[in-house]
Amino acid sequence: MPTDRAQPAFVLIRPQMGENIGAAARAMWNFGLDRMRIVAPRDGWPNPSAVAMASGAGRLLDEAEVAGDVAEGLADRTYVYATTARPRELTKPVFSPEAAMRDAAARIARGEKVAVMFGPERSGMENADIAHAQAIITVPVNPDFPSLNLAQCVLLVGYEWRRACEEVTDVVVQGQRTDVAEHRDIEALARHYEDRLEEAGFFYPDHKAENMKVNLRNLWARMPLTRADVQMLHGALRQLLRGKTK
């Protein structure tokens, strides 16, 4: 059964190759989307090539709704986006994928039923298809090579849907020992280096010593150190001093 999470339906309009339908299913499931609709697939349905390409996302194909035409595929939807790379003479709002999925998330939260249409691989949707949509999604691609593979387009929109619905951390430090050093850890490290450098005569001449110490403290404060980093730097200094006394 489909997941309970509210989400847009992804509607594939006259897809031509089973492999692309399967790849689109994988792309959808990468981002937690499982409402696939297939309108007038060229090679009929079900399609063994789609199943083979879907790999772990075969459930989406088993549960996909198949429609004979665009109107049938969108019958229960209240707001529809059409993806296209080509300029159209139809008057509609044109969204970037990011803005479209933010808008979709807001509409779904209000109880609307949203769909995103994706056109056939060879030529994309016709104006008669896009006329069913309330808005257009256009990707800022290379104008000299604007065509996207069906699964690529599904992946891109699915990614933006995930970003619109989930809190995404832009940067994260990963590893086995990533506890961030506390201020007391940094302070102890700063004193350790300052004391040893003082003994070595580093802070010279005397009238510049205080400013040099401030700059050194500022250096430690700017560095995003983990507790493991601090321990390593303490150890490195101790080893250097041991080598000097041998």
Report DSSP letters for 162-207, one per residue.
HHHHS---S----SS--PBPPHHHHHHHHHHHHHHHHHTT-S-SHH
What is the band of 19 on the pLDDT scale with cuts at 50, 70, 90?
very high
Q: Residue 173 — very low, low, confident or very high, per pLDDT cuts 50/70/90?
A: low
User: What is the Cβ-side half-sphere exposure of residue 204, based on CA atoms within 13 angstroms?
Assistant: 6
Determine the pLDDT at residue 180: 86
- Name residue 118's beta-bridge partners: 12
- Domains of the chain (ranges plus CATH)? 9-165 (3.40.1280.10), 183-245 (no CATH)
Residue 140: half-sphere exposure toward Cβ, Cα within 13 Å: 5
Where does the chain show beta strands of DSSP type E? 9-13, 36-39, 65-67, 79-83, 94-95, 114-118, 135-137
- Tokens at 222, concatenated: 């700017």
- Mean pLDDT along residues 62-67: 97
pLDDT for the residue 75? 97
Q: Are the CB atoms for 14 and 120 separated by under 8 Å?
A: yes
Task: Taking residues 15-31, report their average pLDDT.
Answer: 96
Give per-residue pLDDT as tens, 82-107.
Answer: 998 877 788 999 999 999 999 999 99
Q: How far apart are CA 101 and CA 158, in angstroms?
A: 9
The pLDDT value recorded for residue 176 is 61
pLDDT of residue 123: 79
- Whether residue 246 is predicted with pLDDT greater than 60 in this model: the reply is no
Give, for 244, the enclosing helix (H) or strand (E). Answer: helix 227-245
CA 70 centroid distance within chain: 29
pTM of this prediction? 0.75
| pLDDT exceeds cutoff 60 at 231 | yes
Per-residue pLDDT, averaged over 183-203, amounts to: 93
pLDDT band at 133, cuts 50/70/90?
very high
**Contact partners, residue 198, CB within 8 Å, separation at least 6:** none
